[in-house]
Amino acid sequence: MTKFDYKKELPSLIVTIFNEALALKDFLTSLERQSLQPGEIIFVDAGSSDGTQELLKKFIKHSSVPSKLFIKKGNRSVGRNFAVKKSRGDWLAITDAGCILDKNWLKELWKKQEETHARVIAGYYRGLADSAFQEAVIPYFLVMPERLQESSFLPATRSMLIEKSLWQEIGGLEERLEYSEDYHLANKLKKKKVKITFAREAIVYWLPAKNIFQFWQKIFGMAKNDVLAALLRFKVYLIFLRYLIFLTILIFFNNIYLIFSLIVLYLLWAIVKNLVYCKKSFFYLPLLQVTSDVAVMLGTVAGLIQSNFFNKS
């Protein structure tokens, strides 16, 4: 057996990539340092033009793990489904190239599976902020440790292990979804009552949006794709109700002091609810709250329009 022989008893690691050259070196370094290496690595690039493919080819050439690079244009759902078809393992470890893996990430996922025999292992994730803005962004996307409920924690494709036969059984990812594809997948698993086990120590470090435009784009895209996947989160209804109440007060109550007080209270609430995570960046929280609200509402409407919801009605 040479060092390039495929190790079938270990999971296949699948990674989708598109123009990740700036973050890719850190990801590949964290991959090399894994205390448990995968049986193989399948990279699927969506057609990068920033030097990503050259970095991957260099990594593959020197890697002790059998690795392959495929070019497949499309979103992450298309790329991951394609990667699964090209994989040879019975188990799939999944993450994003824009992340950094804890050195024991794969080991913890694999250990939890061997302990519980669950068909899905949901790994955890933490934000890795390089700026005050990114620190403030993290609570809007990740389940923070204090709010974590292991029994109801859903797997995300940045950190998970799943049996390949189960992936095939449920049809993989919905390829029309550019965002929220893993949320859709997790809900399919819930409906099938698949056993999902949480691995708290299987940690992936996630890189948050760097500016307000990226933040808006992600929130808008998630809201729109939730609708396209026929999944409306309860908090979306609350956001619409919140602004409907405010609009009603604005129209029917001619009281500038009441309106101003409500705005101030709302912005203070935006700070207080995440202050424990953003003590050095709390001043961004009101901006992020309003931006998030508007992005969710407009994204939801865009999803309804794209899905022809109003014509169906």
Q: Are residues 180 and 218 in the same domain?
A: no
Query: Do residues 242 and 202 share a domain?
Result: no
Cα–Cα dist 188/169, whole Å: 11
Is the residue at 7 inside a domain? Answer: no
What's residue 82's pLDDT? 95
Number of domains in the chain: 2
Confirm whether 114 is domain-assigned. yes
Query: Based on the domain organization, do 186 and 239 belong to the same domain?
Result: no
pLDDT of residue 295: 97
82 with 111, same domain? Answer: yes
Last-in-domain residue among 176, 206, 236:
206
pLDDT for the residue 1? 33
> Could you give phi then psi for residue 261, rounded to 5 degrees?
-65, -40
From the list 97, 159, 166, the residue with the least C-alpha distance to 123 is 159
Residue 307 included in any domain: yes
Q: pTM, whole model, 2 decimals?
A: 0.85
* Domain finish residue from 174, 206, 238: 206
Q: What pLDDT was estimated at residue 152?
A: 83
Side-chain-side CA neighbours of 308 within 13 Å: the count stands at: 2
In a domain, 4, yes or no: no
pLDDT at residue 252, as a whole number: 85
Q: Decide if 100 contacts 204 (C-beta within 8 A).
A: yes
Instruction: Answer with the one of 146, 178, 206 that is the final residue of a domain.
Output: 206
**Residues 39 and 78 placed together within one structural domain of the fold:** yes
CATH of the domain at 184: 3.90.550.10
Kindly report, residue by residue over 213-256, the tens digit of the pLDDT. 999 999 999 999 999 888 888 899 999 999 999 999 888 887 88
* pLDDT < 70 regions, the chain: 1-8, 309-313
The C-alpha atoms of residue 158 and residue 108 are separated, in whole angstroms, by: 15
- List CB contacts of 212: < 8 A, sequence separation 6 or more: 133, 287, 288, 291
Tokens of 244: 């409907």
**What pLDDT was estimated at residue 179?**
83
104 and 134 both lie in a single domain: yes
Q: What is the pLDDT of residues 83-108, one digit of tens each?
A: 999 999 999 999 988 899 999 999 99
Contacts of 193 (CB under 8 A, 6+ apart): none
Q: Which domain holds residue 306?
A: 212-312
Q: What is the dihedral of CA 300, 285, 218, 135, to 10 degrees?
A: -160
